[in-house]
Amino acid sequence: MEAMKKHAKGFVLDIGCGTGAYIGVSDDYVGIDISKNMLEEASKKSKKPFAVASAEILPFRNSSFNTVICMFTVLNLCDYEKAAKEMHRVLRPGGIAIVSVASVWDRKNYRFLDKLKNRYGSDVKNVRIEKEKLRFKMFAKDELVSLFEKKGFELKRMHGIYKFQEPYWNRYVNFGIVARAKLLVERLFPPQLGRIYIAVFRKA
């Protein structure tokens, strides 16, 4: 949360806010999600405004926000071209977009040697969420950066995490000693190898 606060300034829009993990990032905060059930849980934590909406059609005026947050693989599942364009539209000049996506390396069958040689397979996999079959887009680092640059952003910072340690998708448990040690060591390796990319873009 502290790292998020470093980049998130002013009026913040949280796209795909879920149950409200980043409610505390700003006093001026709005959260949206396509899941009404998720928003009901988020509203129990805070009186801040929430709305049912999708990343592709943001129900806000142009240049409404200083910061947009889009975490938890929202871009992997939605129309990411439309979503990036909408983020640019609702941000004020110089505004910040903080996004995360699952990368092409989020597959169990990759060896670390494959990552070092930059060898990867299909960039799409099928997943099931609440019994619905969905197309899950997996991004290469350069692909994510190019997407946002084409929509009028410039890259400020990028991290790749979970190079050795597997992320605990949908399991809210603390990492043990071994897992924490892996996360420390992996900082020595290039960001493009991570299973998850976290990027900070500025609206040019």
Domain boundary assignment for the chain: 2-203
Q: Provide DSSP, 149-187.
A: HHTTEEEEEEEEE-SSSPP-TT------HHHHHHHHHGG
Structure confidence by residue, pLDDT tens digits, 88-135: 999 999 999 999 999 988 875 556 666 555 556 557 877 776 677 788
Question: Which tens digits make up the pLDDT trace of 3-62?
Answer: 688 889 999 999 999 999 999 999 999 999 999 999 999 999 999 999 999 999 999 999
Say how far apart CA 105 and CA 47 lie, in whole Å.
Answer: 38
Q: How far is CA 135 from CA 36, 110, 123, in A?
A: 21, 20, 10
d(CA 80, CA 93): 21
Pairing of strands 29-33, 50-52: parallel
Residue predicted with more confidence, 173 or 86: 86
Architecture of domain 2-203: 3-Layer(aba) Sandwich (3.40)
Residue 32 CB contacts under 8 Å (≥ 6 apart), including other chains: 13, 14, 15, 16, 17, 50, 51, 52, 53, 54, 58, 59
- Could you identify the residue written with the tokens 């960001």? 191
Q: What share of the chain is helix, strand, coil (3-state, %, to 5)?
A: 30, 30, 40
Q: What is the 3-state secondary structure (H, E, C) of 35-66?
A: CHHHHHHHHHHCCCCEEECECCECCCCCCCEE
Q: Which residue has the higher pLDDT, 186 or 108?
A: 186
pLDDT classification of 174: cutoffs 50, 70, 90: confident
Tokens coding 70: 């889009």
CA distances from 183 to 73, 93, 158, 173 (A): 20, 35, 16, 15
